[in-house]
Amino acid sequence: MAQDDPRTLVSTDWLAAHLKDPDLRILDASWYLPDAGRNPRSEYDAAHIPGARFFDIAEIADNRSDLPHMVPPVEKFMSRLRAMGVGDGHQVVVYDGMGIFSAARVWWLFRLMGQFNIAVLDGGLPKWLAEDRPTEDMPPIVRDRHMTVRRQNHMIKDVTQVASASKLRNHEIIDARAPSRFAGAEPEPREGLRAGHIPGARNVHYATLLNDDGTMKPPQQLRTIFEDAGVDLAQPAITTCGSGVTAAILSLALERMGKTDHALYDGSWAEWGMFPTVPVATGDA
């Protein structure tokens, strides 16, 4: 059983015990890859944890960008969260329909915006349902709450910064994609992208950090997985993946291990794989 920490990860037991807290806000941040054939909004409408609001990762994003679900402008983030009745002084718990998948992205996004009282629900909705806990199909009653945002620019990297880190080898770049995609042995699901990985990157497939029930492994086991992948934990880390979603699972794991000097490459492979001027490596790390 994971140690409950309202700034990283809380158990279903913790959430059940705090469900009626007046300052608790729950977000359903389910999001699926297109080939999953699932509609997160309609699943939310049918059944969600009592009081949960739906956080639309694809909409609360920078829609000026050609890249998927990039970090939204500060003003947009603030206005969307205010409309959801989520703001200063709230303890937020975010979950998704896969266990730990897209919820970690929203956890990271809140932290980027300077909001640290947020935890991912360990095991997510599948574990909640497996334990026969309550759900509802009613939208919550929302009251506006102001949110103060102080963007933490050190927590995010762009393609130029990542290219520099790859060249200078002064950061550990950790890629959350499956080994076959990392090695360039299978084509990318997005059209027009080269296959392979950022030169110098290490591969820690996000799924290896999770137990069969979708909960996260304990910190000591996480540390071993990163070290076995050749990650030098003394170096600052940059997490990356296909489009910036599962990279946040690595970020959450690093934070659970007590490693705080990590940033996320928002464009991830959707950007790097498209850029003709940046180098691509193939094969194992």
Q: What is the per-residue pLDDT across 83-141, written as a single tens digit (0 to 9) for each?
A: 999 999 999 999 999 999 999 999 999 999 999 999 999 999 999 999 999 999 999 99
Pair type for strands 156-157 and 9-10: unpaired
**pLDDT at 227 > cutoff 60:** yes
Distance between CA atoms of 128 and 205, rounded to whole angstroms? 25
* φ/ψ (deg, to 5) at 168: -80, -15
Residue 81: phi and psi, rounded to 5, are -70, -35
Asked if 205 and 181 count as a contact pair (C-beta separation under 8 A), the reply is no
Question: In a 3-state reduction of DSSP, which class is residue 255?
Answer: helix
Mind telling me the catalytic residues? 241
Q: CA 279 to CA 255: how far, in whole Å? A: 29
Judged against a pLDDT cut of 80, whether residue 2 lies above it is answered with no
Q: Which residue has the higher pLDDT, 245 or 33?
A: 245
CA end-to-end distance (rounded Å), the chain: 32
Query: Which one, of 204, 197, 195, lies nearest residue 176 by Cα?
Result: 204
Please name the residue that has the structure tokens 């995010």. Answer: 156
Residue 1 has pLDDT above 70, yes or no: no
Q: Mean pLDDT of all residues in the chain?
A: 96
Q: Which residues contact 103 (CB under 8 A, 6 or more apart)?
A: 29, 94, 95, 96, 120, 121, 124
Per the DSSP assignment, residues forming a β-bridge with 157 are 265
Please state, for a pLDDT cut of 90, what percent of the chain lies above it.
93
Could you tell me the CA-to-CA distances from 39 to 35, 45, 168, 234, 244 in Å, in that order? 11, 10, 42, 41, 20
CA distances from 166 to 4, 213, 237 (A): 35, 35, 11
Q: Which residue type sits at 71?
A: V
Would the pTM of this model clear 0.95, i.e. be above it? yes
What pLDDT band is residue 276 in, cutting at 50, 70 and 90? Answer: confident
Place of tokens 């110098």: 200
pLDDT in tens, 22-56: 999 999 999 998 888 999 999 999 999 999 999 99
